[in-house]
């Protein structure tokens, strides 16, 4: 999706629900590049994996989604959408992976989902190019489009900025009705959202009453 304030995409990914031994061949056919983030589709799992080499892919446990890892400076943006309100929080994420890491590392590195991690990057001394929040116009257009396509009013997305760029972003995860406890000012945001729903309901009721009179 090309937006005047930046470009938003999704990393190449592959759904896997087959014998683990066949995963390397499936990855090759799909044209995915290592390393790959493995996201279990089992609801109780709060752990992700980073697979550095083809052999390690056979150690994964389907069903899962494999997603190409995009270097992003170790910072992720959690974007909370509550109706028309948008709030963004910086969170620490995985560090960049370079060619040396791929040559010197093998196997599967496991780590918790960012949504379950406690580490916030809001007060950290970060490189301004890494810490700069996504442009507001981009977030507003993206949120509006997702609301329209998905029919959701409460959700959040995890976004990253490709390292070395300023305006190329990726959505790497999405949750409908996530936990909002760590969203700044969530009490006021939710109060305003609920009041707006009540006002819309009252407006429709009055509109229906007026139309009935006519």
Task: Enumerate residues 6+ apart whose C-beta is below 8 A from 119.
Answer: 91, 92
The tokens of 31 are what?
Answer: 């044209």
The tokens of 204 are what?
Answer: 């429709």
Residues 111, 94 contacting (CB under 8 angstroms) = yes
pTM of the complete model: 0.82
Q: Give the span between the Cα atoms of 214 and 211, in whole angstroms.
A: 5
pLDDT digits (tens, 9 = 90+) for 170-211: 999 998 877 777 777 777 887 887 887 766 665 556 666 555
Architecture per CATH, domain 7-200, reads as: 2-Layer Sandwich (3.30)
The reported pLDDT for the residue numbered 209 is: 59
The sheet with strand 75-82 has its strands ordered as 2-3, 6-9, 168-176, 154-161, 75-82, 85-92
Q: Give the span between the Cα atoms of 33 and 13, in whole angstroms.
A: 10
Enumerate the domain spans of the chain. Answer: 7-200
| Residue 38 pLDDT class (50, 70, 90 cuts) | very high
């Amino acid at each position: 999706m090309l937006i005047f304030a930046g470009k938003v995409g999704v990393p190449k990914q592959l759904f896997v629900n087959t014998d683990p031994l066949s995963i390397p061949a499936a990855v090759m056919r799909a044209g995915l590049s290592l390393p790959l983030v493995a996201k279990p589709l089992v609801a109780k799992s709060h752990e992700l994996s980073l697979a550095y080499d083809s052999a390690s892919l056979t150690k994964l446990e389907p069903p899962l989604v494999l997603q190409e890892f995009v270097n992003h400076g170790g910072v992720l943006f959690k974007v909370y959408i509550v109706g028309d309100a948008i709030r963004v929080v910086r969170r620490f994420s995985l560090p960049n992976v370079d060619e040396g890491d791929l040559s010197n590392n093998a196997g599967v590195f496991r780590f918790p989902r960012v949504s379950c991690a406690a580490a916030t990057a809001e007060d950290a001394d970060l490189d301004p190019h890494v810490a700069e929040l996504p442009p507001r116009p981009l977030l507003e257009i993206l949120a509006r489009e997702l609301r329209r396509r998905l029919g959701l009013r409460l959700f959040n997305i995890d976004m990253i900025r490709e390292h070395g760029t300023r305006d190329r972003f990726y959505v790497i995860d999405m949750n409908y009705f996530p936990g909002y406890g760590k969203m700044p000012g969530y009490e006021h945001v939710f109060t305003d959202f609920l009041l707006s729903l009540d006002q819309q309901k009252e407006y429709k009721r009055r509109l229906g009453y007026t139309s009935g009179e006519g």
